[in-house]
Amino acid sequence: MYAPSLPRRIVCLTEETTETLYALGADDLIVGISGFTLRPPQARKT
């Protein structure tokens, strides 16, 4: 049986996805965000 590995890099196309990943502590997996993302503020600083 094939078991896919977890994502290692994530591009967030919506602000909600970015916020959720930060809330889950998975912000280290984010490699790109939408230019419209304003929340959370620390996402724009990376």
Residue 21 CB neighbour total at 10 angstroms:
19
Residue 1's pLDDT is 66
Tell me how far apart the alpha carbons of residues 9 and 42 are, in angstroms, rounded to a whole number. 18
pLDDT digits (tens, 9 = 90+) for 12-43: 999 999 999 999 999 999 999 999 999 999 99
Question: Torsion over CA of 45, 41, 20 and 13, rounded to 10 degrees?
Answer: -60
Positive/negative CA dihedral, 41, 36, 25, 45: negative
Residue 4's pLDDT is 79
Length of the chain: 46
Is residue 3 pLDDT above 80, yes or no? Answer: no
Tell me how far apart the alpha carbons of residues 39 and 17 are, in angstroms, rounded to a whole number. 10
Local confidence band at 7 (pLDDT 50, 70, 90 cut-offs): confident
Domain limits, the chain: 10-44
Residue 22's pLDDT is 97
